[in-house]
Each structure stands twice: as C-alpha cells, then as structure tokens.
C-alpha cells in the first residue's frame, strides 16, 4: 500500500504531495483539485521516469 501525504506550502503557494513509501516521489500543484486528479498517474509517471 502506498500512502500519499499532501500539504499546502503557503510560502510557495502550492500544494505538495509526497510519500514515505516511495522515496523521491514529490509533486507540486496549484490547486487541491490537482492533487486528486489521478494519484495512480502520478505514481506510474514517477516509476516510468526512474527506469
């Protein structure tokens, strides 16, 4: 199971999503809606870039 944590970076003005289960997985989006668009796409894209 992969847990994704999201928080608002007020200084940068973005939402940040990270995962302790997947070291290096970090993304920033402008809106909270952007976080929920497709978390599976985020993870797949991360692994695709790593290979």
At residue 40, the pLDDT reads: 63
d(CA 51, CA 49): 6
d(CA 19, CA 6): 9
At residue 43, the pLDDT reads: 72
Per the structure, the complete domain to which residue 16 belongs is given by: 5-50
Task: Give the other-Cβ count within 10 Å of 41's Cβ.
Answer: 9
- Over residues 3-48, the pLDDT tens digits come to 888 899 999 999 988 889 888 888 888 888 887 776 666 776 767 7
At residue 23, the pLDDT reads: 82
**Tally of domains in the chain:** 1
Predicted TM-score (pTM) above 0.75: no
């Amino acid at each position: 199971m992969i847990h994704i944590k999201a928080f608002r970076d007020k200084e940068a003005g973005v939402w940040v999503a990270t995962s302790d289960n997947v070291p290096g997985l970090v993304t920033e989006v402008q809106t909270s809606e952007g976080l929920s668009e497709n978390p599976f796409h985020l993870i797949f894209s991360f692994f695709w870039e790593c290979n």
